[in-house]
Amino acid sequence: MPTLPETHQYRQVAESFGTDAERYDRARPHYPDAMVERIVAATPGPDVLDVGCGTGISSRQFQAAGRTVLGVDPDARMAELARRTGIESEVATFEDWEPAGRTFDAVIAGQSWHWVDPVAGAAKAAEVLRPGGRLAVFWNAGDPSPTWPAPSPRSMPG
């Protein structure tokens, strides 16, 4: 049986979100404030690197919590929207991004770490984290309301 490429090898998908960056920014949910607060409390300093920052959704939340955030995203359209919303952002895949000697107190990845090569990404995170720094990788999870009606047999594919 042939093996399929790992998620991080589907770059064309990862880089497709920028076709409508404004819509992406409006539609993508934010992260729980309590989660952001816990990450901030566990981080030894203010400097945060947001891997796969996209339009800056999680970056803006960490910035609002008093952190200085630099975003990195492979899609120039997404990075541009992040910049327009006040997030410093550089265009590159995380694996190829050049830190130029910069280090951070936290490396975060909201809804994006699966697009990063797991070996190269872990090595890069270790390279740029200061002593005591944190890697925080997080996702949204769907939790449909129990009051939503079940799909009727006619609406189900198949």
- Domain holding 75: CATH number? 3.40.50.150
pLDDT of residue 28: 83
Residue 109 has pLDDT above 90, yes or no: yes
Share of the chain above pLDDT 70, in %: 78
pLDDT greater than 60 at residue 128 = yes
The predicted pLDDT at position 156 comes to: 42
* pLDDT for position 157: 47
Total domains present in the chain: 1
**pLDDT tens-digit map of 27-80:** 788 899 999 999 999 999 999 999 999 999 999 999 999 999 999 999 999 999
Q: Is 4 part of a structural domain of the chain?
A: no
In a domain, 152, yes or no: no
Q: Which of 77, 34, 76, 85 is nearest to 57 (CA)?
A: 85
Q: Tell whether 126 is covered by a domain.
A: yes
| Domain assignment of residue 106, yes or no | yes
What is this structure's pTM?
A: 0.81
